């Protein structure tokens, strides 16, 4: 058994049965091993940003890592932006990055690059295998790292000869420690802050914005008079009718500051202290008021459900008292599309148990209240801020959850970064409905231009913000990648096409022209 | 004048009048400055791999750097693969990478990343500006670095506040040193090796494969009985009727070894000692025979034209004696396409002074002999081996040389990595004819699978090498990005559509189905 086969067996035995790939010469032995080892589903993408974004989406839905297969430094580089997003989402992934054979690296051939240097900024763990006998053990270590709470990026670099030389057989993955418990003092102090009632807020993310975490937090808030709020972005927020509703920290700084103005005590459940997405000349970076006490209940790696249960006990809150969202359906809108009307359409069509991957950017700022009463669904957001995350994450979610409907809501500017994801959706016949908000501009930047104090864009600046020359034809691009599609520009059309896309298996793209 | 304006003025005053951009919030002041400063052409791309590849192509044709504008670490990451290619091509470029305002970095907002860490593996110089007063000086230094022979990648990281605070006015670029001269001993020793006649080879790249370099090398070879050969890949090789013809080191190791089998003395003109593109289990990394003497006439940073002139003098060679390529046109082929017939079509249609950007991979291995007698043209190749370089480099070449025809020959697998380049071609109405070789497979990997000793791919492996499920519709994708297009599958069709594409201004895409 060569090194590559020992690695693939280690991955499969270690519970990794999906590999998102874009291989090259140096990964051919890994690819060959797939023929010999059962149990690994390989999903090809035509660009590495799709590969790494899919691994992010897979983790978010499964909580276990997928592998990626990438071609040397530049292949890893192409996957860098979505690895950045995955790292910020605390998604675990095992990257297998091919490298020249060890004896060949010294010759500085065209593809030679500092792969470890490229990997480190987006990885928690980087290792280059030194020989074929070490590969299986290195692979097992990578799985261990990737699976360790809250999820980490492990990048294993695999020189060609470590794949083709005789290996040592598969290795077992070391036992993965369960999430640590929050300290008694952390729970006790949170309870003390909650006793002060109004002016106390639970800021939630991670397990704290999943169904049970929200139910517990909602019960605590109900009992104590505290407020609950979710981070601005969350890897997977569970919401909809029958669940405890939660709002998020808004993107615009003035709105965020206003929302947090009365918060004197903030209890952080995995969440980071709230800060602005960007720094601006005349706006604060820290969104809480001076003097607001920040108290961490759980780190990202800790067991928030346990901590919230203990906190609920401490304050005498009962989960059945948590106020849950009543089902509601917004009035059906008509006529030309605008963000509010789009939100109303969404509130009418999101199906039960859907996975909504939201990269709507400006178009989506109204979506939350209108969709709050839809059937229960998961809402996935961009955690690293690098646009182009949406369609790849939808690919990963679709692979992870073949029995669920995936709805990818994507701005046209964002969608173009990783447009190649459409082809993988078609190849794998993933049940994903993609809606492209075609406003034909980097709309967010028009606001940001003013927010940073640059005034109003002139002709040359505007030219860098508009993407309407030429208009992008999403229906044609989807067709070119094998995804059926339709273009609409009315609420009636959007409603009908979304229902069609969600009702039929396989991918479907809707170009919604604003 | 704020820092951003001082930087843009420094760039324009320093001779940089093209900026390829994909900006975000942190670059808005730079964008705003474009409205205030004349003389900078900004070219927007929808993905950063297009931005950085375009800068590579621009340098190759102009020999002076363009700027790029990239959005924090992930934006730089998206441009990494083509920066790798540009660095390996010895292309100079000035990357302006936005960063959070200095006071905001500490808060680890979503887009915060180790930008310097991401930049270093693909840069010769990396600097983060510390305040607005320093920005102009840092920009001048970046231009100086980028312009220093043979061309370097300078990455200047620009925190938001260094752009919006009061700057210090534009700075002049320090004097750029001319290329150094080769030592007398380097020339004398080369002359001694040439006296031995047969068994001596001049291996050329850089200025050595431009018209005058080849003429000098050809004269030297003619006089001494030595052979000339070009590197396997070259940034810009000038060829065609009336120029000294030169073959290249082949990609397959056995052919390369055979071509170099009789070489006992190799004189390197900017070229690297020839090595295999990849390492293989049973093939050498070094392509020359044991005992072959390698002698460096010029480093990449040295003046090869001067050195070759001195060497010609030393051996008594006269440039007018160099044997030049006679014009010839291959017989017009007919019927279904195959690589040899495609090459014959190219030999019939390449127009005078064309810029051919070759990313044909396997389809193109026959192109060289059939196109040798075409009218004089430039041939650009992938220097870093990361596919997806072709269409972006064509964009840069088209911007640099609006009066020349650009012909981009691109494999379908390669084209997909940076397919967004088509939109920029349409927006800027660049005179580029793109031909996509649609063999619907990563054909090179099928050979490499065997070359690395993995035998023949089984069903699962083959699935990672074929991209025919679904077939890519290039005509549709081009239409979706505003580029007129046609699909053909015969020699007659290819000939007609290439003539149409080359005859009409603006971009045109031909999907050639093999």
Q: Under a CB-based contact definition with an 8 Å cutoff, are residues B201 and B226 in contact?
A: yes
Count each helix (H run) and each strand (E run) in chain A, helices first.
Answer: 21, 17
Which phi and psi (to 5°) does residue B363 adopt? -60, -25
Chain A residues near residue B279 by CB distance under 8 angstroms: 100-101, 103-104, 160-161
pLDDT recorded at residue B366: 87
pLDDT recorded at residue A362: 85
Closest CA to B280 of A461, A383, A164, A510: A164
CB-based contact A111 B464, cutoff 8 Å: no
pLDDT recorded at residue B364: 87
pLDDT recorded at residue B361: 87
d(CA B119, CA B97): 9
pLDDT recorded at residue B454: 87
Which H or E element spans position B358?
strand B354-359
Nearest CA in chain A to B448: A25
CB-based contact B26 A278, cutoff 8 Å: yes
Domain ranges of chain B: 3-164, 184-321, 339-513
List Cα–Cα distances, B160 to A247, B96, B103, B116, B119, in angstroms. 30, 12, 10, 16, 18
Chain A residues near residue B448 by CB distance under 8 angstroms: 24-25, 28
CATH architecture of A339-513: 3-Layer(aba) Sandwich (3.40)
Kindly report whether the peptide bond that precedes residue A101 is cis, defined as omega within 30 degrees of 0.
no
CB-based contact B81 A81, cutoff 8 Å: no
Residue that is written with structure tokens 């759980």 in the block? A298
Domains A184-321 and A339-513 share a fold: yes
CATH architecture of A3-164: 3-Layer(aba) Sandwich (3.40)
pLDDT recorded at residue A129: 98
Successive 10-residue mean pLDDT values, chain B, 514 residues: 97 98 93 93 97 98 98 98 98 98 96 98 98 97 98 98 96 96 98 93 98 98 97 98 97 96 98 96 95 97 98 98 97 95 97 97 89 98 97 98 98 97 98 96 89 89 92 98 98 98 97 96
**Does the structure's ipTM exceed the value 0.90?**
yes
Q: Is A67 on the interface with B (CB under 8 A)?
A: no
Chain A residues near residue B110 by CB distance under 8 angstroms: 88, 233, 277, 382-385
CB pairs under 8 A between A and B: 333
CB-based contact A25 B444, cutoff 8 Å: yes
In A350-401, where does DSSP find H-type helix?
Answer: 367-371, 390-400
Q: Is B287 on the interface with A (CB under 8 A)?
A: no
CB-based contact A452 B25, cutoff 8 Å: yes
- Option in B28, B113, B480 nearest A84 (CB): B113
pLDDT recorded at residue B86: 98
d(CA B368, CA A398): 45
Nearest CA in chain A to B44: A464
Q: Under a CB-based contact definition with an 8 Å cutoff, are residues B344 and B331 in contact?
A: yes
Q: Is A465 on the interface with B (CB under 8 A)?
A: yes
Q: Is B300 on the interface with A (CB under 8 A)?
A: no
Closest CA to B402 of B506, B489, B304, B499: B506
pLDDT recorded at residue B247: 96
pLDDT recorded at residue A514: 93
Relative to beta strand A354-359, strand A293-298 is: unpaired
Chain B residues near residue A451 by CB distance under 8 angstroms: 25
d(CA B181, CA B298): 8
pLDDT recorded at residue B313: 98
pLDDT recorded at residue B333: 96
CB-based contact A448 B28, cutoff 8 Å: yes
Low-confidence ranges of chain A (pLDDT < 70): none
Q: Write out the CATH class of domain A184-321.
A: alpha beta
Rounded (5°) CA angle B434-B438-B443:
120
Q: Under a CB-based contact definition with an 8 Å cutoff, are residues B163 and B133 in contact?
A: no
């Amino acid at each position: 058994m060569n090194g590559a086969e020992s690695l693939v067996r280690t991955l499969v035995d270690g519970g990794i049965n999906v590999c998102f790939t874009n291989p090259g010469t140096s990964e051919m032995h890994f690819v060959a091993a797939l023929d010999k080892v059962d149990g690994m589903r390989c999903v090809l993408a035509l660009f590495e940003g799709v590969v790494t974004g899919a691994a992010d989406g897979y983790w978010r839905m499964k909580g276990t890592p997928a592998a990626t297969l990438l071609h040397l430094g530049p292949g890893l580089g192409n996957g860098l932006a979505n690895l950045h997003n995955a790292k910020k989402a605390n998604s675990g992934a095992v990257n297998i990055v091919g490298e020249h054979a060890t004896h060949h690296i010294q010759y500085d051939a065209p593809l030679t690059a500092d792969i470890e240097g490229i990997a480190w900024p987006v990885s928690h763990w980087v290792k280059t295998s030194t020989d074929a006998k070490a590969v299986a053990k290195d692979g097992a270590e990578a799985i261990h790292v990737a699976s360790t709470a809250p999820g980490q990026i492990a990048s294993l670099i695999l020189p060609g000869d470590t794949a083709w030389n005789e290996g040592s057989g598969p290795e077992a993955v070391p036992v993965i420690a369960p999430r640590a418990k929050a300290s008694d003092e952390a729970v006790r102090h949170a309870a003390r802050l909650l006793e002060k009632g109004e002016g106390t807020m639970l800021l939630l993310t991670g397990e704290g914005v999943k169904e049970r975490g929200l139910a517990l937090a909602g019960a605590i808030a109900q009992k104590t008079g505290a407020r609950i709020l979710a981070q601005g972005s969350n890897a997977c927020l569970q919401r909809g009718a029958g669940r405890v509703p939660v709002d998020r920290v808004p993107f615009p700084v003035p709105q965020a500051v206003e929302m947090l103005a009365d918060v004197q005590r903030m209890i952080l459940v995995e969440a980071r202290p709230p800060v602005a997405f960007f720094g601006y000349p005349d706006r604060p970076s820290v969104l809480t008021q001076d003097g607001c006490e920040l108290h961490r209940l759980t780190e990202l790696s800790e067991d928030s459900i346990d901590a919230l249960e203990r906190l609920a006990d401490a304050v005498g809150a009962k989960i059945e008292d948590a106020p849950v969202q009543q089902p509601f359906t917004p009035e059906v809108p008509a006529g030309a599309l605008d963000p509010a009307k789009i939100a109303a359409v969404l509130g009418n069509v999101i199906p039960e148990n859907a996975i909504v991957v939201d990269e709507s950017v400006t178009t989506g700022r109204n979506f939350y209240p209108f969709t709050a009463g839809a059937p229960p669904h998961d809402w996935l957001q961009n955690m690293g801020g690098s646009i182009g995350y949406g369609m790849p994450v939808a690919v990963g979610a679709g692979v992870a959850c073949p029995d669920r409907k995936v709805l990818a809501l994507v701005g046209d500017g964002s969608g173009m970064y990783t447009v190649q994801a459409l082809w993988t959706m078609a190849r794998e016949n993933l049940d994903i409905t993609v809606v492209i908000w075609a406003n034909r501009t980097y709309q967010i930047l028009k606001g940001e231009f003013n927010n940073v104090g640059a005034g109003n864009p002139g002709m040359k600046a505007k030219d860098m913000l508009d993407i309407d020359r030429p208009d992008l034809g999403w229906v044609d691009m989807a067709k070119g990648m094998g995804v059926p599609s339709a273009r609409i520009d009315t609420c009636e059309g959007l409603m009908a096409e979304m229902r069609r896309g969600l009702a039929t298996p396989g991918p479907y793209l809707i170009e919604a022209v604003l």
